[in-house]
Amino acid sequence: MQLFTITIDEWQPFLKVLNGLSDLSMNGLVFNSHNIRNELSHNQIEPVPMFGFLSKMLKPSEYSNSFTAVIVIEDEKLDEAKKIVRDFTTDLNSKALMMGMPITFCEEIIKE
């Protein structure tokens, strides 16, 4: 089994990827995400004064969202999932990332 994670900066390609994965009966968690650089540039904690001013000047003022999906999939479906992501992200104006990590178990807990 793999923990397959996808992060895409654009909403429409992300939706297309989700639809493609859904057609293969893949399901998982979806959430908005931010990169560390953007998160730190908009925090309320000021860095050391001498470097704080420079860091605020050098960082982009735009605060961008990304969209992330985390899916547990069988090893046999990993190549198919990666192909779907590649097919729908070829024309991106920004970036996308996908990664897989082996997991040893997945257990759904249901209250009876």
Span 46-70, pLDDT tens digits: 555 544 554 555 445 455 688 999 9
- Residue 13, domain member (yes or no): yes
- Residue 81, domain member (yes or no): yes
Number of domains in the chain: 1
pTM above 0.85, yes or no: no
Q: How far apart are CA 80 and CA 28, in angstroms?
A: 16
- The domain in which residue 96 lies consists of 2-102
- How much of the chain, in percent, has pLDDT values that exceed 70? 73
**CATH code, domain carrying 7:** 3.30.70.120
- Residue 111, domain member (yes or no): no
Is the per-residue pLDDT at 81 higher than 60?
yes
- Residue 110, domain member (yes or no): no
- Residue 108, domain member (yes or no): no
Residue 44 contacts residue 70 (beta carbons within 8 Å): no
Residue 33 contacts residue 65 (beta carbons within 8 Å): yes
- Residue 38, domain member (yes or no): yes
Under 8 Å CB-to-CB from 40, ≥6 apart: which residues? none
- Residue 107, domain member (yes or no): no
Q: How far apart are CA 55 and CA 42, in angstroms?
A: 11
Under 8 Å CB-to-CB from 66, ≥6 apart: which residues? 7, 8, 9, 32, 33, 34, 35
